[in-house]
A and B are shown apart, each in its own frame.
Chain A
Amino acid sequence: MSFFSNITVGQYYPGNSLVHRLDPRAKLLAMPLIMAGVLLAQGPVGYLAAGLPILFGYAMAKVPLTALWRGMRFLWIFLIISLVLQAVTYPGETLWEWGIITVSREGLSLGLRLIYRLVLLVLAAMLLTMTTTPVNLTGAMEKLLQPLKRLGVPVHELAMMMTIALRFVPTLLEEAEVVMKAQQARGGSLTTGSLEKRLGATIALLVPLLAGSLRRAEELAIAMEARCYRGDNGRTRLKQFQYRYLDFLVLLILFAFTILVGVERWI
């Protein structure tokens, strides 16, 4: 449990806030609006404005900051690397020099803006997954993609695959932990020894995991068929989604806001 408990990026955080109670379809539609705002923004006012809906969303959802921080932790390495790359490769007015490495003012500002945008995009996606249960999320996706069914896209099957995949993430992590410990007790440690030894240890972890997944998939398929699963043929949902005025209001406000952020540079 210790090794993999770190991998909980954007895990659902139970709550009963306004954000939690929004229709999942509305939340799913709100995401591209917020993200468009982040990508369209130019200039300091636009940048700050683009972050506002996300900040507001988190404030209302009452998600603890520690959970957020843990989710973002692995991202920092990636962010810092992209900042450094931007800063040293982009040509412009030299700000700082060390040997052949020069940091340009333009590169640094570009890198900082890039980081800001990336963080906002990740935060927006995390706000969605932290306030929506996986079942609702895939359910909403299925509902929204329904029109594509006429074109022969297996919408229900895709959504079911996603639900199952999400459902088995913790199970697989747990299994990986057990197998890793078992092999470690046979001297196959992933974290010590030569590269060759570690590679061997990785195989000793991956083969049982794969075999276990195949076995589980087969068992699940049998269990589903034993309960007469036939795709979405005549299938009903336990919880029907219901748009409320609030959902439309939120979408409308976000839409207007995004347009404002988009045209801000011409105002």
Chain B
Amino acid sequence: MSKIIEIENLQLTYAPNTSLQRQALQNINLTVESGEFRAIIGPQGSGKSTLLQVMAGLEVGLGKVIVDGLDLRQKKNRRMLWQRVGVIFQQPERQLFEDSLYNDVAYGPKNIGLSSEEIERRVKTALKKVKLGEEYYPLSPFKLSGGQQRRAAIAGILAMEPKILLLDEPTAGLDPKGRQEIMNLFSELCRKQGITMIMVSHDMEEVAHRADKVTVLQKGTVFLEGGPQEIFAQGNQLTEIGLAVPFASELANALRERGKNVSNVTTLADAEREVGKMLRRRNGH
């Protein structure tokens, strides 16, 4: 696998040299492999969204940022980026504006200047992926329900067919079923089509379940980095900065604190297996 995102010594200050000056990111070093599902977690105001915007070329800091071979220190490279990187912002339904669902999803492909057949193909594929049928095409996006609007907005990004998807709390405010459907879609895009996913999330269960690797931000710096099992085994450190761990990890951490020999787990299925092993060992004695 090759590196698709490389960040070295990134610094970013908002409103420098004014009374509102705020250090958003400092000394960030980060690499993401192509096809990876990376989760970024951290307490509020730790710089997660800012970091995502730097990767999208929408914010510029000091330091080396290379995304898909493009050096984002150069303005012309940042402009080329939007054809390769899709961004799904918090509450992406706010970006809907066209008179029909179809046209809204077609907005991005039209901007690239694709042929009308290609646009049609992309719009239909994208809407199929988010499970919005043809009966919705002519409807005004403002007439859809909240969950449908979210999916419509996501389809608008997918129609760009990006190589990298940046997700900023994509499931916040959705019901459990909607959340699962959308997360399944992102997993599938990552595993089957090899799209690199960078997801900012507060949903630790989803992070544990989906991510290959987790980056924990705290006060604009990288606090921890590693696989989900490794990260969520550090329950105390995460609780200290205001984060939670998935239930299964909490259980495993608590058992380990009581001196039981349990390995790091993040999912309920793994926890069941570990607890079963533990009980068998006890009964065997």
Q: Which residue numbers of A lie inside 8 Å of B, CB to CB?
A: 1-2, 5, 64, 66-67, 175, 178-179, 181-189, 192, 197, 203-204, 207-208, 211-212
Q: Are B97 and A208 in contact (CB under 8 A)?
A: yes
Chain A residue at smallest Cβ distance from B108: A186
In the complex with contacts A187-B160, A207-B97, A182-B14 CB distance below 8 A: no
Chain A residue at smallest Cβ distance from B81: A185
Q: Are A188 and B89 in contact (CB under 8 A)?
A: no
Interface centre among B14, B18, B59, B83, by most chain A C-beta atoms within 10 angstroms, is B18
B262 to chain A, nearest CB (A): 43
Q: Are A184 and B58 in contact (CB under 8 A)?
A: yes
Q: Is B111 an interface residue (CB 8 A)?
A: yes
In the complex with contacts A211-B142, A212-B94, A2-B160 CB distance below 8 A: no
Bitwise, B70-108 to A at CB < 8 A (1) or not (0) is: 000000000100110111011010111110000000011
B11 to chain A, nearest CB (A): 15
A186 interface neighbour in B15, B94, B111, B142, Cβ under 8 Å:
B111
* Whole-angstrom CA separation of A32 from B82 in the bound complex: 52
Chain B residues, CB < 8 A from A178: 89-90, 94
Q: Are A208 and B82 in contact (CB under 8 A)?
A: no
Interface centre among B107, B111, B112, by most chain A C-beta atoms within 10 angstroms, is B111
* Whole-angstrom CA separation of A182 from B52 in the bound complex: 12
A177 to chain B, nearest CB (A): 10
Q: Is B53 an interface residue (CB 8 A)?
A: yes
Chain B residues, CB < 8 A from A67: 18-19
Q: Are A186 and B97 in contact (CB under 8 A)?
A: no
Q: Are A184 and B82 in contact (CB under 8 A)?
A: yes
Chain A residues, CB < 8 A from B112: 187
A62 to chain B, nearest CB (A): 13
Q: Can you spell out 27 A-B residue pairs with CB atoms less than 8 angstroms apart?
A: A1-B14, A1-B15, A5-B15, A67-B18, A178-B90, A179-B95, A181-B56, A181-B58, A181-B87, A183-B107, A184-B58, A185-B58, A185-B86, A186-B82, A186-B107, A186-B160, A187-B111, A188-B108, A192-B79, A197-B111, A203-B97, A204-B107, A208-B94, A208-B95, A208-B96, A208-B97, A211-B97
Chain B residues, CB < 8 A from A187: 82-83, 108, 111-112, 160
Chain B residues, CB < 8 A from A175: 94
7 more A-B residue pairs beyond the given contacts A175-B94, A207-B98, with a C-beta to C-beta distance below 8 A:
A67-B19, A178-B89, A178-B90, A181-B87, A182-B95, A188-B108, A203-B97
B102 to chain A, nearest CB (A): 15
Bitwise, B1-44 to A at CB < 8 A (1) or not (0) is: 00000000000001101111000000000000000000000000
